[in-house]
């Protein structure tokens, strides 16, 4: 057994509906949290029991909290960061993104995902939900880099044959929990890009394998108008009519949802991925997060892809997410700081069906943690540590990241990456893709 002891740290466990921070120690054995305590005696006893195999981390001046769960991403789109900006969504997709993507090979997807994982780990993200093509290549990166991921085999009508091949590979490698850090979902891209026939096939596959469904829903006014004209109902109502909404469904965006839609989401137990920066950048609108949460809908945080955001910084995302809801509702009290942290941890875990073992710091939970260095000017004075985290913290404040009990970031440096080589390879590859 391998052990890690984080001593004399400030702990934000995310175990309650109200914030509680305390000083203590955390013991980790293999992939699990063995104990969390304010009692220094327990820490010393743990160290003695583990003997020479224990790795000690000095927590003075640092805060430990659960790693972030980024519930919506298109990781390989790092290769398109800054490629097509300041363009309306449908033109952006049809004239720039989809033609670029048509040139991508499996190895391109692998390299773009590796860049995304490096960025996410450095910012304290320990789990991400991906929606993209060639997910088996994404799985290869996840295995090698140590991060945790939900791989969503993705399709549009035009790419259904490729989806079936990708899904077969994913089932062969990862079905039935065959990998400790990888789980699977199915991902119809959106109602406007998938026929009823293919959506019903996704439903049949969901029932056959027990997977969740991860789908873009009601992102723009154009989508809302298009689906109303085509089916005489909203995207949420249409998906519900096909019986595709349940507690395993992750509905991404939900910018244009009415009271009836929200009631359906709540009744079906659907989780929603809130992507504030992407919605702002593409001018999609502002998701009614306050209304959804007030109705009891589980809402987590996602960054969306890195060419519609343009980064994978969850700290920046939660701050923007809070401010956007406050200005939209004209109420400075809505979605307070601690609630944003819950959305990025506890609610994210629930959205992927892992609330029993992810998103909190307590004995028996999986050891997915981030350690933030509070010894920075922007964290002082410390009237309210939680408010400082949400409104002041930056990805560069993340000192250490632990996933599944393994230290992947230490002293702000990636342990499994040759970062200079990766960056050089990405730049060279992108220049090649543009010339294809």
**158-174 pLDDT per residue, tens:** 989 999 999 999 999 99
The model's pLDDT over 57-82, given as tens digits with 9 standing for 90+, comes to 999 999 999 999 999 999 999 999 99
State residue 174 phi and psi, 5-degree precision: -125, -5
The model's pLDDT over 99-153, given as tens digits with 9 standing for 90+, comes to 999 999 999 999 999 999 999 999 999 999 999 999 999 999 999 999 999 999 9
Q: How confident is the model at residue 19 (pLDDT cuts 50, 70, 90)?
A: very high
| Amino acid 286: pLDDT | 97
| Amino acid 41: pLDDT | 87
CA distance readout (Å), 209 to 109, 183, 425: 26, 12, 37
Contacts of 100 (CB under 8 A, 6+ apart): 80, 83, 84, 433
> How many CB atoms within 10 Å of residue 167?
22
Contacts of 137 (CB under 8 A, 6+ apart): 106, 107, 109, 110, 113
| Amino acid 1: pLDDT | 59
Whether the per-residue pLDDT at 232 is higher than 70: the answer is: yes
pTM of structure: 0.97
CATH architecture of residue range(s) 3-66+366-414: Roll (2.30)
Average pLDDT, the chain: 95
Calculate helix-pair angle for 337-344, 385-392, nearest 10 degrees: 70
Q: Are 251 and 262 in contact (CB under 8 A)?
A: no
Whether the per-residue pLDDT at 428 is higher than 90: the answer is: yes
Whether the per-residue pLDDT at 51 is higher than 90: the answer is: no
DSSP code for 21:
-
Q: Which residue has the tokens 């290869």?
A: 140
Whether the per-residue pLDDT at 88 is higher than 90: the answer is: no
Q: How confident is the model at residue 176 (pLDDT cuts 50, 70, 90)?
A: confident
In three-state secondary structure terms, 344 is helix
State residue 247 phi and psi, 5-degree precision: -65, -10
**CATH code at 68-351:** 3.20.20.140
| Amino acid 52: pLDDT | 79
Same CATH fold, 68-351 and 3-66+366-414?
Answer: no
DSSP code for 190:
B
Separation between Cα atoms, residue 345 and residue 97, nearest integer Å: 30
Whether the per-residue pLDDT at 98 is higher than 90: the answer is: no
Contacts of 415 (CB under 8 A, 6+ apart): 407, 408, 409
Calculate helix-pair angle for 106-122, 135-145, nearest 10 degrees: 40
Q: From 279, 312, 252, 265, select the one nearest 125 (Cα to Cα).
A: 312
Domains of the chain: which residue ranges?
3-66+366-414, 68-351
Q: How confident is the model at residue 90 (pLDDT cuts 50, 70, 90)?
A: confident
Region 75-96: mean pLDDT is 88
């Amino acid at each position: 057994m391998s052990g890690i002891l984080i001593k004399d740290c400030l702990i934000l466990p995310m175990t309650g509906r109200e914030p509680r921070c305390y000083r203590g120690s955390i013991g980790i054995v293999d992939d699990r949290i063995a104990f969390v305590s304010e009692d220094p005696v327990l820490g010393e006893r743990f160290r003695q029991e583990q003997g020479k195999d224990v790795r000690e981390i000095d927590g003075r001046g640092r805060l430990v909290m659960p790693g972030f769960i980024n519930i919506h991403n298109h990781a390989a789109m790092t290769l398109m960061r800054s490629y097509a900006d300041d363009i309306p969504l449908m033109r952006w997709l049809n004239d720039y993104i989809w033609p670029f993507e048509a040139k991508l090979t499996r190895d391109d997807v692998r390299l773009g995902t590796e860049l995304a994982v490096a960025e996410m780990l450095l910012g304290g993200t320990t789990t991400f939900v991906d929606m993209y093509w060639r997910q088996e290549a994404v799985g290869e990166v996840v295995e090698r880099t140590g991060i945790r991921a939900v791989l969503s085999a993705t399709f549009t009508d035009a790419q259904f044959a490729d989806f079936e091949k990708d899904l077969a590979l994913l089932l062969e490698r990862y079905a039935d929990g065959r990998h400790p850090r990888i789980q699977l979902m199915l991902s119809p891209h959106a109602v406007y890009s998938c026929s009823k026939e293919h959506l019903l096939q996704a439903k049949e596959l969901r029932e056959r394998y027990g997977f969740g469904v991860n789908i873009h829903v009601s992102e723009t006014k154009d989508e809302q108008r298009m689906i109303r004209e085509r089916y005489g109902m909203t995207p949420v109502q249409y998906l519900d009519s096909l019986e595709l909404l349940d507690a395993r469904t992750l509905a991404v965006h939900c910018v244009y949802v009415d009271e009836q839609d929200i009631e359906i989401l709540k009744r079906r137990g659907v989780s929603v991925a809130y992507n504030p920066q992407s919605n702002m950048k593409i001018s999609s609108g502002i998701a009614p997060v306050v209304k959804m949460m007030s109705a009891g809908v589980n809402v987590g945080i996602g960054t969306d892809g890195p060419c519609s955001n343009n980064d994978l910084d969850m700290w920046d995302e939660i701050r923007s997410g809070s401010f956007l809801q406050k200005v939209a509702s004209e109420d400075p009290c809505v979605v307070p700081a601690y609630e944003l942290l819950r959305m990025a941890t506890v609610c994210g875990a629930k959205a992927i069906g892992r609330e029993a073992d992810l998103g909190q710091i307590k004995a028996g939970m999986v050891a997915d943690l981030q350690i933030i260095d509070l010894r920075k000017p922007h964290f002082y004075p410390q009237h309210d540590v939680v408010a400082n985290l949400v409104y002041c913290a930056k990805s560069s404040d993340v000192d250490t990241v632990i996933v599944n009990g393994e230290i992947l970031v230490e002293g702000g440096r990636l342990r499994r990456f040759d970062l200079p080589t990766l960056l050089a390879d990405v730049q060279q590859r992108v220049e090649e893709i543009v010339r294809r």
